[in-house]
Amino acid sequence: MLIGKQSWVFQNKPVILETGVTGGPFESNGALPEDFDLLYDDLWMAQDSYEKAHRLLMEKAVEIVLQKGNIQKEDIQFFLAGDLTNQITPTSFAARTNAIPYFGLYGACSTSMEGLALASFIVNYKGAHQVLTGASSHNAAAERQFRYPTEYGGQKPPTAQWTITGAGVALVARSEGLTGQFPYAVSATIGKVIDMGLKDPFNMGGAMAPAAVDTILAHFEDTGLTPDDYDLIVTGDLGEVGRETAYDLLQQQGCLMDKEKFQDCGLLIFKPDQPVLAGGSGAGCSAVVLYGHLLNEMKKGKYQKILVVATGALLSPLSVQQKDSIPCIAHAVAIEYGTVC
Amino acid sequence: MLAMFFWAFVVGGLICVIGQLLFDVAKLTPAHTLSLFVVIGAILDGVGLYEPFIDFAGAGATIPITSFGNSLVHGALQEAEQHGLIGVLTGMFEVTSSGISAAIVFGFIGALLFKPKG
Amino acid sequence: MSKDQTAKQETYQKLQSKHELKRPVFKNCVKAFLVGGTFCLIGQAITYFYIYYFDFTEQTAGNPTVATMVFLSLLLTGFGVYDHIGQFAGAGSAVPVTGFGNSVISAAIEHRTEGLVLGVGGNIFKLAGSVILFGVFSAFVVALIKTIYLNIVGG
């Protein structure tokens, strides 16, 4: 159901029944390795190119979901996913492998929540019984497309971020007949494109912060809730710069909360001593952290209600060369853990 | 000889510092900065300043990318002296061939032998 | 873009720059100086090597020296070391001719996955193209001007 200007509330509690999370070498040395189902120790993953490895990450994540949930591909109605690579080819090739009717999505690093919001909507209104949704990214594939060849000796400034290598996929299903406790989607707020004129592709956090803030404020406006209604408000990949800026902006707009409550997946996924500059980023970042670590924490009882705000920078190498600024977007999904029937 | 090592180190280092300032303060990309340096090298040789610079700083002047501009102009001027204006086009790569050819040849060899490590 | 929107953007940009992690300019310059100087030091040693052992003169030793430095950058790039040097040294690794070598070689290595002709051939000058283009064109202009000038003054 539509509430307010740009949000949905899901009365039928679409459940996140199973998840599959894959990652690469940096992630296996990071802060959350136990929350991954499968970790690769090199970026090639025995494939012929980084893009093919990227495809494998997504295919494996889907496989893991099906295995864990003991489900067949034929029982899934739709696959909604995307990545950062041109024309989202890794995801499309993975969709070819799993042969599930496919919605290819591009929201840069906000793709995960774009997918979860749509998947929850479809399941909530019985447009499907079971839907797979996810997002992925691959560090080297992103570097060679957006920035420089990986062996190039370019110097990145401290505001730059490190694209994570990983895929996070979730199975969203109808809650009818389910006993026990599950994480389920409560509501979602769809973001608008926000552009504050920032042009530096090595400072995406600074560019994305206003989009995160706009969506968060819209969420509270539409739902009538406040930060106190959530145990955690976590952004996708604002990184150090974006998180500080967004927190400052939220305070200014009267949206007050403890800094501890306002976290960022890009900062959670890596250890402070890893050379990741301002933090992790990538379409896979929010997906792997949410579908792995955060849901595990919810199952352990640490959080009962969280708001996940995935943020995306909608630039391309060409738009930067043409001196355009960086338009950004953020999508939010509220997830609660409890009984669904 | 020792003095040459000293000046090579210092002058080369200082040219790199100018480059670093262009990166960090002027926020230029490496491509912009290096293109600028090559052009400056070309102009300096045009006004006859780069050769004395090499005599003074040795590798401190021949190793930075500015020396490309210098050797391109040098080659062009040498040919032009002998063959007139057309020498400007025909002579350019005579002196500079080593840097660019080496990069191309070794680039290809690199592509055959190595895989990127990410 | 309305005036209101531009004003909002300016306000935001001011706020953002408060939180923007600043580049450590002085530290970067020191690192650039040390690494760049070292590359030149190595170049000087190689130059003397060619003069004393291979009969090159001070003028002609430049060529094999540059080629040797580019070979050095092949090894550093191929073994995955140059990108780390680059992150550390910034202009100290980009400005010496080894940086030029690295830009060509890293592009060639990277695009092997698209084949030798279209991948390597089509992308090898992705980063170095600007240097070659502007180097050649500015040399052309400078040499042209100088030659015409000398003809006028001399003839």
Chain B residues interacting with chain A (CB cutoff of 8 angstroms) = 23-24, 27, 30, 115-118
Write down the domain spans for chain A: 1-341
**C1 — pLDDT class (breaks 50, 70, 90):** low
Q: Do the chains contact at C21 and A197, CB–CB below 8 Å?
A: no
Give dist(CA A214, CA C100) in Å, integer.
Answer: 44
DSSP secondary structure letter of residue A107: B
Nearest-Cα distance to chain B for A46, in Å, is 12
For the cut 90, the answer to whether the pLDDT of residue B100 exceeds it is no
Helices (H), A102-252: 111-124, 139-146, 204-223, 239-252
On whether the CB atoms of residues A257 and A250 are closer than 8 A, the answer is: yes
User: What 3-state class would DSSP assign to B20?
Assistant: helix
User: What 3-state class would DSSP assign to A264?
Assistant: strand
C-alpha distance from residue C57 to each of A152, B4, C44 (Å): 33, 15, 13
User: What 3-state class would DSSP assign to A188?
Assistant: strand
Share of chain B above pLDDT 90, in %: 69
C-alpha distance from residue A240 to each of A222, A231, A235, C16, C114 (Å): 28, 21, 11, 12, 36
Does C132 lie in the same domain as C73? no
On whether the CB atoms of residues A20 and A98 are closer than 8 A, the answer is: no
Which of A49, A198, A240 is nearest residue C13 as measured by Cβ atoms? A198
DSSP secondary structure letter of residue A43: S
Helix axes B66-83, B92-113, angle to 10 degrees: 140
Q: What is the pTM of this model?
A: 0.94
Q: What is the mean pLDDT of chain B?
A: 91
The per-residue pLDDT for B95 is 65
Does C136 lie in the same domain as C68? no
* Phi, psi dihedral angles at A30 (to 5 degrees): -90, -155
For the cut 80, the answer to whether the pLDDT of residue B92 exceeds it is no
Give dist(CA C21, CA A160) in Å, integer.
Answer: 10
Which of B8, B23, B36 is nearest residue C44 as measured by Cβ atoms? B8
For the cut 60, the answer to whether the pLDDT of residue C155 exceeds it is no
- Partners of B31 on chain A (C-beta within 8 Å) are none
Chains that touch C (3 or more CB pairs under 8 A): A, B
Nearest-Cα distance to chain C for B50, in Å, is 12
Nearest-Cα distance to chain C for A206, in Å, is 6
Does C153 lie in the same domain as C81? no
- Partners of A151 on chain B (C-beta within 8 Å) are 116-117
Nearest-Cα distance to chain C for B116, in Å, is 6
B50 close to C (CB below 8 A): no
- Partners of B100 on chain C (C-beta within 8 Å) are 132
Compute the average pLDDT of residues B83-96: 78
* Contacts of residue A33, Cβ cutoff 8 Å, sequence gap at least 6: A23, A27, A39
On whether the CB atoms of residues A123 and A16 are closer than 8 A, the answer is: no
Q: In chain A, which stretches have pLDDT less than 50?
A: none
Q: Residue C38 carries which side chain, given as an amino acid letter? A: T
**C59 — pLDDT class (breaks 50, 70, 90):** confident
Give dist(CA B58, CA B60) in Å, integer.
Answer: 5
Give dist(CA B51, CA B38) in Å, integer.
Answer: 15
Supply the Cα-derived Rg of chain C in whole angstroms: 22
Q: Which of residues 15-74 of C touch A (CB under 8 A)?
A: 15-16, 18-24, 28
B49 close to C (CB below 8 A): no
* Contacts of residue A27, Cβ cutoff 8 Å, sequence gap at least 6: A33, A36, A39, A164, A165, A166, A269, A270, A288
C-alpha distance from residue A169 to each of A19, A58, B107, C61, C146 (Å): 6, 8, 39, 60, 65
* Contacts of residue B53, Cβ cutoff 8 Å, sequence gap at least 6: B44, B61
Share of chain C above pLDDT 90, in %: 83
Give dist(CA A118, CA A106) in Å, integer.
Answer: 13
**Closest chain C residue by Cα to residue A213:** C12
- Whether residue C65 is contained in a domain is answered as yes
User: What 3-state class would DSSP assign to B33?
Assistant: helix
Which of A148, A155, A206 is nearest residue C16 as measured by Cβ atoms? A206
Both tokens of A107, joined, read: 């929201």
Counted domains in chain C? 2
Give dist(CA C128, CA A34) in Å, integer.
Answer: 43
* Phi, psi dihedral angles at A12 (to 5 degrees): -90, 10
Chain A residues interacting with chain C (CB cutoff of 8 angstroms) = 48-51, 144, 148-159, 196-198, 203, 206, 209-210, 240-241, 244-245, 248-249, 275, 278
Which of B60, B102, B107 is nearest residue C66 as measured by Cβ atoms? B102
Helix axes C3-19, A204-223, angle to 10 degrees: 110
The pairing of strands A162-163 and A181-189 is: unpaired
Domain of residue C153, residue span? 128-155
Does C89 lie in the same domain as C60? yes
**C92 — pLDDT class (breaks 50, 70, 90):** very high
Which of B30, B102, B111 is nearest residue C112 as measured by Cβ atoms? B111
Compute the average pLDDT of residues C56-64: 85
Q: Do the chains contact at C22 and A196, CB–CB below 8 Å?
A: no
DSSP secondary structure letter of residue A258: -
CB atoms within 10 A of CB B107: 27
- Partners of A149 on chain B (C-beta within 8 Å) are 116
In CATH terms, is domain A1-341 a member of 3.40.1190.20? no
For the cut 70, the answer to whether the pLDDT of residue B96 exceeds it is no
For the cut 60, the answer to whether the pLDDT of residue C97 exceeds it is yes
* Contacts of residue A317, Cβ cutoff 8 Å, sequence gap at least 6: A145, A146, A147
Both tokens of C152, joined, read: 């006028």
The per-residue pLDDT for B117 is 78
Give dist(CA A183, CA A305) in Å, integer.
Answer: 9
Give dist(CA A261, CA A231) in Å, integer.
Answer: 7
Give dist(CA B94, CA B81) in Å, integer.
Answer: 14
**B97 — pLDDT class (breaks 50, 70, 90):** low
**B74 — pLDDT class (breaks 50, 70, 90):** confident
Q: Do the chains contact at A140 and B116, CB–CB below 8 Å?
A: yes
Give dist(CA A110, CA A329) in Å, integer.
Answer: 7
**Closest chain A residue by Cα to residue C93:** A153
* Contacts of residue B41, Cβ cutoff 8 Å, sequence gap at least 6: B50, B65, B66, B67, B68, B69, B70, B73, C135
Work out the angle at residue B96's Cα, subtended by the Cα atoms of residues B91 and B99, and round it to the nearest 5 degrees.
155
**What is the helix, strand, coil percentage profile of chain C, to 5?**
85, 0, 15
- Partners of A155 on chain B (C-beta within 8 Å) are 23
Does C117 lie in the same domain as C85? yes
Which residue of C40, C63, C76 is the best one to mutate when testing the B interface, meaning the one whose CB has the most B CBs within 10 A?
A: C40
Which of C43, C116, C131 is nearest residue B63 as measured by Cβ atoms? C43
Of chain C, the end-to-end C-alpha distance in Å amounts to: 59
Which residue of C111, C134, C148, C150 is the best one to mutate when testing the B interface, meaning the one whose CB has the most B CBs within 10 A?
A: C134
How distant is the alpha carbon of residue B77 from its chain centre? 16
Of chain B, the end-to-end C-alpha distance in Å amounts to: 41
CB atoms within 10 A of CB C21: 18
Compute the average pLDDT of residues C15-27: 93
Supply the Cα-derived Rg of chain A in whole angstroms: 18
**Closest chain A residue by Cα to residue C86:** A153
- Partners of A149 on chain C (C-beta within 8 Å) are 106-107, 109-111, 126-127
On whether the CB atoms of residues A40 and A23 are closer than 8 A, the answer is: yes
